[in-house]
Structure formats: C-alpha cells, structure tokens
Amino acid sequence: MTSELTIALPLVLPEASDARDQCVERLNELLVVSGLEQAHATPSGDALCVHFDPTRLDASEVRRIVQAAGAKISGRYRHETLRVDGMDCATCATVIEHALRRLDGVLEASVSFATERLRLEFDSERTNRAAIVRRLGALGYSVRERDGHGGALAQYRELILSLVSGVFLLAGWLLGRFEISNWASLGMLVSAYVAGGFFTLRDAAQSLRAGRFEIDLLMIVAAAGAAALGEWAEGALLLFLFSLGHALEHLAMDRARNAIEALGELSPKAAVVIRGGVQSEVSVEDLRRGDRIIVKPGERMPADGAVAQGLSAVNQAPVTGESVPVEKSLGDPVFAGTINGEGALEITVTKLASESTLARMVTLVTEAQAERSPTQQFVDRFERIFVPVVLIGAALLIALPPLLIGAPLAESFYRAMAVLVAASPCALAIATPAAVLAAVARAGQNGVLIKGGLHLENLGAIRAIAFDKTGTLTHGKPRVTDVRALSGSEAEVLRWAAALERRSAHPLARAVVDEATKRSLTLEEATEVQAVVGKGLAGQVNGREVRVGSLSMFEQRPLAGQARSEVARLQSEGKTTMLVGLDDAVVGVIALADTPRLGAAAVLSELKTLGIAENVMLSGDNESVAKTIGAAVGIDAVHGNLMPEDKVRVIEELVT
C-alpha cells in the first residue's frame, strides 16, 4: 500500500523557478535515497508529489524528511541573478557564459545582453559568489550591486565616442584633401582611430582572453593594416562605421531594458505586514510566505497571495488583461501589481517577490528581448569561421610568397594588408542591426512596436497571428451595452443607477455615469450612500431607497422571474450585469461589456486577404466573454481564462 503527499514546491525549494530546475531532480534522487518510494513534480509543475509506505512513515515524518532534503539541496546549490556592467555587444554575453561555465563549481550561466542580467546556478561547496564576481572582473566586467542608471554620459558614451571619431575623420580628410597640413591631418585621423576603436579594442581583448576570435578583432587588425599601408582615412572610416553601428544597436537595447524595468515598477516596493500582532512597513523583498499583509483601497498588491479577510473588487488588467474588476473574497487568489478596489483586504502571502506572477511576466519579456533574428544568428556563426580564416589567410599571404617564389617581403605584406582591409566585414557587421533598427523605427512611427530582429523577420513568414483582447481588439474599459426596464422607462432606470454610481470610483460605476451623461440625463443628488462590499451600492435619492448591484445584493428581497431570466440572458452573452432596485422592487437591469474597437473586424478581414490563415485571440477574461468578442470581430479561435504564462504556452503550440 502506498500513500501520497503533495507539498508546494516553493516551500521545499524556494530558489527553484519551476519543476524544470535541476534542483528538483536532485531533490527527487535524495528523497529516494532517504527511504521514500518515489518523488516527482505534479503536472502543474508547482508542487512535489511524494509516494511513501504509510506502515513505515506517517505524513508528518515524510514532510520533515522532504523539508530537510530541500534545505540541504538549497544550501548547497545556489541560484543568483546579477546585474553585469560593461557589456557592449551580444558577443560579451557569449564570452561571459563561456568563461563562467569553465569555472569549477558553476553549473549553469545564462546571460541576457538585453537586460544585462546574469543568471547563475553554482555548487557552494566548490565555489562562491565572490569567486564568480572576481572572474567577471578579470574579464573586464563588473557587478552592479544596486540597480540604477549611470546618467546620460554613461548611457551615451559609446555613441559620443563614435560621433567624436566621425568629427575627427571628417576634419582629417578635409585637411588632407585640401593639402592644408599633412601632420594635422594625420593627427586628426589618429584621433579618429582612438575614439572609434576604443570599445572595439576592449571587446576584442575580452574575446581573446576567452579564447574566441570575434569580428571586433578583425576590425582592429584591418584598421591596423590600413594604417600600415598609409591609408589612415580608410582605417578610420572602418572604425567609425563599426562603432556607430554598435552604438545605435546598444541604444535600442537600452530602450528595451527600460521597458522591462518599467514593467517591474508595476509592483509596489513596500508592504504593510502584520507580525506578532504589530503592523509595520517592510520591503516587498523581505516578505515571507505566510505573512499577513494589509492592502488598502486603491493600492496595488505587493505580492501574490490569497485573501484572508475582506471583500473587494480587484482590477487585474495589468496582469491578466481582464477589462472588468474581479470580486475577491476569502480564499481567492490575488496577484502582485493588480489594483485593489474600494474594500480593504488582508492577504496571506503565498509567493516571494521573485516568484510572483508579475516577476514571471518580466522574465518572459526578458527572454523575448534576448532573442536574435535568424540573420543575426547566421552572422554570428559566420563570423566565428570567417574571422580566423581571414587572419590565417593574411598571414599566409605575408609568409608564403617570399618563401616559395622569393617575392619581396614588403610587397607581400602590402598585398596581405590590402586583402585584409578588403575582407573586413564592416558592412556585414553593421548592415543587419542597422536594417533591423530602421525597420523597427519605421514601424514605430506608424504605431507598431516590434521587440527585436527575430520578430521582425518572422513577420514575413507568419501564417497565424495571436491578439490580446483587452485594449487591442477592444477599448479596454467597460461600456453600457443594454438597459432593460422592468418597471418604468430605460431612462429612469439609468437615472436612478447613475445617481448612486457617480459617488463611486469603480470602473463599472464610471461606465454607468458616462452612459447617463451621453444620454443627457439630469441626475439627482444621492445621500447616505453606502458601499456593500462585493455586492454594490445603497443610498437615498429624492427620499427613496435605491440599490444597485449584483444578484447577491437582492437575495433578501423578492426577485421577479423576469429579472432573473433577463440577467441569465445577458450573462450568457458574456456581459456583466447589475440590478437596479427602487424601494422594495427591482425596476431594471443594466448590462456592461468591453466593446470591440471600431475597425477591428475590418483589420482582421484585411489580414485574411494578406495570407494570414488563422487569427487567434488570447484573453484573461472568462471564456464566454472572450468568445462573444471573438465572434463580433471575426476571430477564428478564442482562448480565455489565461494567465501570462498560459498565453506564452498557446503561442508556442501555434508555432509548433
């Protein structure tokens, strides 16, 4: 007989990002050695399922064994994410990865040039963080202990030096062209060499230390060869163009980093936590699982968790894209970065700041930004072969003619340098990033944001497009779609509701007031307005009791069958409904929905004519709402109830 025990993975291995982490496999092996029959990750990947013999062990002993094994694994195999300064090209990321992976004890090293982040896994019994930082220092890079920008000078230093190189080049060429002063011309061209080759020389030296021949080295040798031939202007031009291409590419990457960092700013930096019965403000990074935090009305959720006390509507659009706030009560999950409504909530923290849904979103965007286009990947592979071949060929051109046919050494050297300069792949090196930047900039001027060369090139081959719903195919905010009067007129129903709702900041309330304003209705002043958290509003208008809210608000009062059937019909169409009560009777129903953008259907139809075989919609809204919008705009396939990682999974399935 075998029993099973399921334990949340973050409680056992806090640093493991998911079930694919190598530490999960190490833990499973250690648990089997410890006497348990089997251990594996659950299909969802967020928990560990342990099989054991209940005649030998009880659940508490198994839990103790698992936690002890997890502590042992976590204590030895460490995960770190470091911010690396000094990377000036994507090659730098490759150099760092190659060098660190050869360091004893480093199990994995992954560098994202787009975000300047180094993700590490290492065996703390064989190495440590300090040794890794020292290794980075030896390569010419440094670790930034605190995030921040080094100011405009640091951000634009490469572009500034490149432009300075161009100015010196122009001055030197003009002085030589008009024969004003040969020495002054040479001085200007040498200065252009220094300014244009500063970062290129540094990158070439770092690549050589890592045992790699990169295009930077060939550019330096080619420029030196041009100087040896007396063609200083040509060598300076090579360095200027190469450094300018690099500088522009880096500026684009900086913008991508800023966009990613802005995404991270959605989550607050501090939280009010209750520990030992005392409230105190702590950094979000210091929150622990099981902490009880207080989130006031209008505040953003500082961490992922579950509602422990209180009722409120939460705007989840920043994370899930849902256009209508979601009512939250005891036990319901909440996500970091979402916005609390009008009720105070106490939240039990279930995930650390680094594990939150928002943090995973940042990771997903980071990984997307790091992807390179097929052409860029080809150039990277090509230069690894091309650079050493050209250098070896130049060396042979210098050595073989004097040895084989007795040619003068000076003549052989001249020919080799000429070949070296001609073979310098300056155009190849700068053409791809320059073309990508030009295309991305042009698209941006027309309101289309493209995240990198990979996605740009893929546009020419795609046969399916996945659209987010909220704010893309729809307006991104609820609007009144139906007003049904069960007693009196539609205008009266809307007037009673809007009189109360204009005292609320809820998005649904604003939509009702906007509709009343649009119809030029005169609204009475409401008094004694009270919010019934999670249900609606109640108050007095012209001495009459008015209530506006969900079905649950009227559960203590008689509700006509017509009202229930009207609500059921409207909700089946994917709409959010609110009942309007006057004294003891329900007088009407108001329906709201996030409506399609004008022209969305026409755009999707045009895509069909351009060869797009399938238009897909991804949404965090419930399935019925998503399908209603999809049908209205002509979407082929609809996927609802999706979290950000689910959207990525659906896209991956489309690709395969």
Quick: pLDDT tens for 291-325. Answer: 999 998 888 898 888 999 888 888 887 776 666 67
Q: Is residue 93 within 8 Å of 87, Cβ to Cβ?
A: yes
**pLDDT level of residue 446 (50, 70, 90 thresholds):** low
Interatomic CA distance for residues 438 and 425, integer angstroms: 20
| Main-chain phi, psi angles of 278, to 5 degrees | -115, 135
Q: What is the pLDDT of residue 552?
A: 77
Interatomic CA distance for residues 171 and 656, integer angstroms: 55
The letter for the amino acid at 217 is L
What are the residues whose beta carbons fall under 8 Å from the beta carbon of 177, sequence distance 6 or more? none
Q: Tell me, yes or no, if 468 is annotated catalytic.
A: yes
Q: What is the pLDDT of residue 534?
A: 65
Tell me the mean pLDDT in the region 334-360.
Answer: 81
Interatomic CA distance for residues 28 and 546, integer angstroms: 61
Helical (H) or strand (E) element with 588? strand 585-596
Q: Is residue 315 within 8 Å of 325, Cβ to Cβ?
A: yes
C-alpha closest to that of 232 among 168, 269, 186, 163: 186
Across the chain, mean pLDDT equals: 80
Q: What is the pLDDT of residue 168?
A: 94
Give DSSP secondary structure letters for 108-143. EEEEETTTTEEEEEEETTT--HHHHHHHHHHHT-EE
Interatomic CA distance for residues 210 and 99, integer angstroms: 6
Q: What is the pLDDT of residue 392?
A: 86
337 to each of 266, 299, 342, 355, 650, how far by Cα in Å? 5, 9, 16, 13, 23
Which of 68-77, 372-381, 460-469 has the least mean pLDDT? 372-381
Q: 3-state class of 8 per DSSP?
A: strand
Interatomic CA distance for residues 403 and 247, integer angstroms: 43
pLDDT tens digits, one per residue of 249-271: 777 666 656 665 666 667 788 88
**pLDDT level of residue 75 (50, 70, 90 thresholds):** confident
Helical (H) or strand (E) element with 589? strand 585-596
331 or 369, greater pLDDT: 331
225 or 421, greater pLDDT: 225
pLDDT tens digits, one per residue of 27-53: 888 887 777 878 877 766 667 888 888
Q: Is residue 523 within 8 Å of 539, Cβ to Cβ?
A: no
**pLDDT level of residue 18 (50, 70, 90 thresholds):** low
Residue 440 predicted with pLDDT over 70: no
Residue 386 predicted with pLDDT over 80: no
Q: What is the pLDDT of residue 252?
A: 66
Catalytic residue among 468, 482, 636, 646: 468
Q: What is the pLDDT of residue 89?
A: 63
560 or 549, greater pLDDT: 549
70 or 106, greater pLDDT: 106
Q: What is the pLDDT of residue 293?
A: 92
Q: What is the pLDDT of residue 494?
A: 92
What proportion of the chain, given as a percentage, has pLDDT over 90? 9
584 or 361, greater pLDDT: 584
88 or 486, greater pLDDT: 486
pLDDT tens digits, one per residue of 79-114: 887 888 877 666 677 788 888 888 999 988 888 766
Interatomic CA distance for residues 299 and 297, integer angstroms: 6
171 or 208, greater pLDDT: 171
Q: Which two tokens stand for residue 519?
A: 């119809």
**pLDDT level of residue 69 (50, 70, 90 thresholds):** confident
Pairing of strands 77-85, 142-144: antiparallel
C-alpha closest to that of 28 among 45, 49, 58, 43: 49
Interatomic CA distance for residues 223 and 238, integer angstroms: 7
Q: What is the pLDDT of residue 452?
A: 61
Q: Is residue 515 within 8 Å of 525, Cβ to Cβ?
A: no
pLDDT tens digits, one per residue of 411-434: 888 788 777 766 665 555 555 655
What are the residues whose beta carbons fall under 8 Å from the beta carbon of 421, sequence distance 6 or more? 222, 225, 226, 229, 231, 234, 235, 238
Which of 239-253, 469-483, 565-579 has the least mean pLDDT? 239-253
pLDDT tens digits, one per residue of 162-196: 999 999 999 999 988 888 888 899 999 999 999 98
Q: What is the pLDDT of residue 189?
A: 92
Tell me the mean pLDDT in the region 436-451.
Answer: 63
Q: What is the pLDDT of residue 557?
A: 65
Q: Is residue 526 within 8 Å of 540, Cβ to Cβ?
A: yes
231 to each of 186, 297, 426, how far by Cα in Å? 10, 70, 16
Give DSSP secondary structure letters for 322-366. -SS-EEE-TT-EE-TT-EE-SS-EEEEE-S-GGGSHHHHHHHHHH
Q: Is residue 169 within 8 Å of 189, Cβ to Cβ?
A: yes
The letter for the amino acid at 15 is E
